[in-house]
Structures are given as structure tokens and as C-alpha cells.
Amino acid sequence: MALTKRNKIAVANIVGISMIILALIPIIIVTVNARQTHVKQSSPSFYVIPLGTTGGLDENNLSSYLLTSVNNNNNPSSAYIVLDGGTIRHGIEIAIQQNSLPADTDKETFIREQIKAYLISHGHLDHNSGFILNTPNDKSGKFIIGLNETINIIRQSYFNNQAWADFGSTGLKTYDYQILDPLSTTSVPIANTDFNVRIFRLCHTCPYLSSAFLISRRYQPSASVLYLGDTGPDDVEKIIQPDNTTYSPRYLSQLWKEMAPLVIADQLKAIFIEVSFPNERPDHLLFGHLTPNWLLKELNVLRSYYSMKNVKIIVTHIKPEKGAREKIIEQLSNGDASYFNFIFPQQGQAIWL
């Protein structure tokens, strides 16, 4: 049946309108995405849930990040690791409220079954308290992973049958220790996950050591994230030797050198790094922490190797002093900050990497 002229015009109009709508869809999607801060990318490699984001005081919101890989169907895998254990249980509650975990998640079961390992950057209480308090109900067979120095603090200061029962390998055996060697240049597997890990030393008021973890996907090694525990700037951190002379170990600059090839190859998805205080904080009161200016100075070292525009910089450990968060966000929005893609994590709100 032949179309009438009027019908033809109507069809043409519908086709025309459809084409305009089709043409607009990408613009609409881009606009919607731009409004959300932590957009799910086309093919993310990692899924992060911040369980706690502050650098102290608020016991319900202390440094801790759940990390898992994202499978081929773009869903987070069920096997998580925890990067630092400041706040665990309350963070999981908030994550369920924020729909970052399924609504029917039972937090008890989640902690027992889905957290496979604890990676602890250093021994300070604000990175361990939630994890330690939850040990009595945990399932055995998991590893606590860190530098020997950190593991020694956990054994001697917490799992000593005085501060807390010994849940480690010399006591109740809930956990085994996986000591990582900072001088080794290879990554080692994290049991029951599809992750590998490598460790690096950091200075946190020398000679006190903190550490950074480079996590990569075992079967997709082209994707990694770097998580740094507390650290001060290379120019401030010094080691005093027995003869009272000092030297600067410059652990951050060594770390950036190791990261350069990953940045160049577009394999590093994110860097979790601390900014504890706003710029007004004098250097002699940093106590092994960074300010926005010091962070930019450090990141500029990395940028001197390659553009940082594809690496998300997740700013952790802001001290909960009045107005500090707003000031730090403001101070990381000017000047050299434009070369970097900063993310200010919120408790319970998932980040796709």
C-alpha cells in the first residue's frame, strides 16, 4: 500500500525527531554523569567502599577502605580486602544505607565471609581499632598483611593477652601474618582474592614507619591502585642516626619512581593519599602528615614523569578539625591542583575505578 503524501511527511517527521533524540542521548548521558561525582566508568576494574574517611577522633569514621575487583559483567566481586581497619562495622552499616552494598547484606556475615584480608599500613590505633574490636567474631584463615614493623606492633601492643586476646598465629590463630618485604620488587598473591600486592616504606615521623600497598589484579595486571598510609613530606621527614647526624630517606620520591612506568602505561587507576591538615599548619607541627601544598609538591614529582589526568587522587585522613575539610577542598582547587583529578571520599559512598 502506497503512503499518502501526508503520511510520508508524518513518517519523515517521526524519523527526524527520532534522529534528533538519538543524537541527544550521548549529550544527556554525559550531562547526567558529570553531575555524579563517582561515576561508574565504561569498564571499571575496581570497586571501593570507604568505611571511614577521617584522620581521627570520630570513632565511627576512621580510615578504612573496602576494595574488590569488578568482574566482566561490571559487578563487584564478592571477595573484598580491607585497606586499614579504623572503622569496620559502622562503615558497613552506612554502606548498606547508601546502596553501596545490597540492602539484604547482613553485616556480621559480610565481615566473616566477604572480607578476606586486612592490609594494615601502620600500627596507629586510628587504623586498627575497628578491625581489632571485631576480631572475636571473625572467621579463621585470614591474613593480616603488612611490614614486619607493623605486624610486630599488632602482636606486641594489641594481641598481647593484655590489651586484647591474641588472635594471631601464636594464640587463638584466627589470623596468620603475611609479612611483606619492602625491598622486594615483585607482587605476591593475597589468598582467597584475585589480587596481588607489593609494599613500600613510608616515613611517618621518622624513625616510625608507615607503608603503601600497590594492589593489582592477578589476571588483569594492567590495572592497579596505590594506597598510602599516613606519611609526611620527603623534605620534612628525617632520620636521626646514632651519631646525631640526620639524613632524609625520601621514601616518597622512591615510590614515585616506581609508579612512573604504571602511570605512563595508564595502568594506575588511583592513588589513595592523606592530607591531614590545611596549608596553615606549620611544618614543625605536621607530625608525619601532609597539607595540600605538600601533597601538590609530591604529586608534581610524579607529574614530572607523565600526565596525571587519568589517575584519581583520593584524598584520605582529613583531621576532623572545624572547617578543615572545606579549607582543604578549597586549597586543592587552585593553581597546580588543576593538573590532578581529586576525589574527596564520603563514608559508605562507592567509588568505581
Ligand X SMILES: *[C@@H]1O[C@H](CO)[C@@H](O)[C@H](O)[C@H]1NC(C)=O
Chain residues that interact with Zn ion, rule: CB under 5 A: 124, 126, 230
Q: How far is the CB of 316 from ligand X (least distance, A)?
A: 8
User: How do 268-274 and 351-352 pair as beta strands?
Assistant: unpaired
The pattern of x and - marking residues 6 through 45 that bind ligand X according to CB under 6 A reads ----------------------------------------
All cell numbers assigned to 245:
647526624
Q: Which does 124 bind (CB under 5 to 8 A by kind): Zn ion, ligand X, none?
A: Zn ion
* Residues sharing a CB contact under 8 Å with residue 145, sequence separation 6 or more, in sequence order: 117, 118, 119, 120, 177, 178, 180, 190, 197, 213
Q: How far is the CB of 49 from Zn ion (least distance, A)?
A: 19
Rounded to whole angstroms, how far apart are CA atoms 221 and 267?
8
Q: Which does 243 bind (CB under 5 to 8 A by kind): Zn ion, ligand X, none?
A: ligand X
For residue 209, the surrounding DSSP H or E stretch is strand 209-217
HSE, side-chain direction, 13 A CA sphere, residue 137: 14
Near ligand X by CB under 6 A: residue from 244, 245, 246, 304: 244
Near ligand X by CB under 6 A: residue from 46, 47, 54, 117: 54
Residue 63 interacts with ligand X (CB under 6 A)? no
Q: Which does 126 bind (CB under 5 to 8 A by kind): Zn ion, ligand X, none?
A: Zn ion
Q: Which does 148 bind (CB under 5 to 8 A by kind): ligand X, Zn ion, none?
A: ligand X
Cα 255 to the center of its chain, rounded Å = 16
Nearest alpha-carbon partner for 84 in 45, 53, 46, 60: 53
Q: How far is the CB of 61 from Zn ion (least distance, A)?
A: 12
Are the C-beta atoms of 172 and 165 separated by less than 8 Å? Answer: yes
Q: Which does 53 bind (CB under 5 to 8 A by kind): Zn ion, ligand X, none?
A: ligand X
Q: DSSP E strands: which ranges in 20-101?
A: 46-52, 64-69, 80-85
Return the number of the residue (124 or 201) whose C-beta is nearest Zn ion: 124
Return the number of the residue (77 or 98) whose C-beta is nearest ligand X: 98
Rounded to whole angstroms, how far apart are CA atoms 187 and 296?
28
Return the number of the residue (124 or 325) whose C-beta is nearest ligand X: 325
Give the interface with ligand X as residue ranges (CB under 6 A). Answer: 53-54, 61, 94, 148, 152, 179, 243-244, 318, 325, 346-347
